Structure 1
Amino acid sequence: MIITPAYAQAAGGTGDGFATLLPLVLIFVVFYFLLIRPQQKRAKNHRAMLAAIRRGDKVVTGGGIMGTVTKVINEDEVAVEIAEGIKIRVQRGLIASVQSKIAQEGKDAPSAGNDQSGGSGSGGMLGKLFGGGKK
């Protein structure tokens, strides 16, 4: 009888280190541009909106309470009148949206948000690519 030893198969080439990391890097880049960057822009716009709150602005809190700013107490709190004679103190960070009294008075003027160029309006970039945007 002829017995031959069974040798383990030789390990394959490890390949290029960059080529093995390339898919991971590409996934991170895609996540950055589709998720992280837009979230940072929204957070920056929200901080700017909160910093611009003035007396007389119509606001909506995170809980859905609507009212008018009657007094800016300090950099973290504002007083909001939610009904005739009923005022509450609200933290600025919990204000979801602001409708400035200037914007309410100038409602007849055309709004600046009607442009169809880029940005993340309704539908966004993916909506425009797949036909979800306005035609």
Structure 2
Amino acid sequence: MSQELVQLMPLILIGVVFYFLLIRPQQKKVKEHRAMIEAVRRGDNIVTSGGILGKVIKVREDNIVQVEIAPEVRIDVVKSTISEVRGKTEPADTTSAPKADGEKSSGGLSGLFKKK
């Protein structure tokens, strides 16, 4: 009986190593991906597994997300194909720092032709 146990010990050890080095990390990764997909909200920037970048416009109940990939171009994407959520979009900073002479930029070419 002990001889059989000694012969099975390497197989048991290999099974334990496979569990901790391969199976458990993969299960953790799948769980994190599932949580990320469930947390997708309107306004998030996402990347699909096909490499399409876009902004979430609408999240529907049937595991479908409407994504705007260009101005006025919207596609429906299955939630499970989302590979990355890049975060919420932030509005551009409209209060820029003053220039060295204390004036703010008015934009365009008007700044080039100002009288000093």
Q: TM-score, normalised by structure 1?
A: 0.63
Higher helix share: 1
Alignment partner, residue 26 of structure 1: 13
Range 73-82 or range 40-49, more displaced: 73-82
**In structure 1, how many angstroms separate the alpha carbons of the residues matched to 2:69 and 2:34?**
23
Counterparts in 2 of 1:82-93, with a 5 A limit? 82-93=69-80
**What is the RMSD computed on CA atoms of the aligned residues?**
2.0
The answer for unaligned runs of 5 or more in structure 1 is: 1-13, 106-135
Deviations 1:57-96 (A, max 9, x none): 0000000000000000224110000000000000000000
Percentage of identical aligned residues: 51
Alignment partner, residue 54 of structure 1: 41
Runs of 4+ in structure 1 deviating by more than 6 angstroms, as ranges, are: 102-105
Q: TM-score, normalised by structure 2?
A: 0.73
The answer for unaligned runs of 5 or more in structure 2 is: 93-116
**In structure 2, how many angstroms separate the alpha carbons of the residues matched to 1:27 and 1:40?**
18
Aligned residues: 92
Counterpart pick for 2:65 among 61, 78, 83: 78
Higher relative contact order (CA 8 A, sep 6+): 2
Superposition deviation, residue 17 in structure 1: 1.8
